[in-house]
Amino acid sequence: MHSVIRIGSRESALAVRQAEIIRDLIQKYDPETEVRIITMKTTGDKILDKSLEKIGGKGLFVKELDRALLEGRIDLSVHSLKDMPMEINEELPILAFGKREDSRDVLIYRNGLKELPECPVIGTSSRRRALQMERLYPACTFRGIRGNVQTRLRKLEEEGYDGTLLAAAGLKRLGMEHVAGRYLSIDEMIPAAGQGILAVQGRKGEIYDWIGQVDDPASRAAALAERQFIRVLGGGCTSPSAAHAQISGNELKLTGLCWSEKSGQYSRGVLCADVSRAEQAGEELAKRLLREAE
């Protein structure tokens, strides 16, 4: 074991809290190891006035941390899996998938509202969320909104939105469940692939004795299925495609959403498989929905 382990994290309160969760698990395995959290601002955190689609995608949230890992300035990095690109640098593998937190999306109302008005203005820069919100609230309109949890909540009150959408996992990790207005079920809104799962990245070829303390088999199976589904669809970080896997014993139930740029339509589907076939399940469901969308 290293006498000191340096975990790289984005600067936001949520990112630091996520790094602390992994730190605590490592120290539970080996209390003698000192674990430090090194924060840094990523390009994705700096540019908040443009959509991710226009500035290069979610890879902008990880490239500074990737560089620090490759250069040996940190030993690990912790990310929300939904913020990671589908293609990972082979030199920086995902070592562990943390136990999944609530994977649902949450609708948050501005102060004074207990439900959305008849023609609400929704703050979101996610095509996935906008596409599915239109089905729930056909009269809504969308305006872009970006930033960390606290920034979005401030913008909700100051910039004329009626509501916005956040991941339930982030609110729970921050102890901010009280701001939630309405939790959206998986049927109402399929989450982003990997939503609620923490990913721990390290360097290829190094030994990490604590992996068994951090890695959750159910999260790993869900992550493999969901990310393979998006990968086969050719969906990047700005794609409205979505996937969510539920694990019950040895059974995996994968729900997916496939968006067709040609037709402007989307199809949804479900596939059940053994957890040992997680990636194959993702591939099979994606190919099936692609055929249906043609």
Per the CB < 8 A criterion, the answer to whether 38 and 5 are in contact is: no
Please tell me the distance from the alpha carbon of residue 123 to that of residue 168, in angstroms, as a whole number: 16
Non-local (6+) Cβ contacts of 272 within 8 A are 251, 252, 253, 254, 281
CA-based torsion, 35, 24, 91, 46: positive or negative = negative
> Which residues, in sequence order, are bridge partners of residue 199?
79, 97
Helix locations, the chain, DSSP H: 13-29, 43-46, 52-55, 63-70, 127-136, 149-158, 168-173, 211-214, 217-233, 278-293
- Annotated active-site positions, please? 83
49 Cα distance to chain centroid? 21
Please tell me the distance from the alpha carbon of residue 181 to that of residue 138, in angstroms, as a whole number: 19
Per the CB < 8 A criterion, the answer to whether 243 and 193 are in contact is: yes
Per the CB < 8 A criterion, the answer to whether 242 and 256 are in contact is: yes
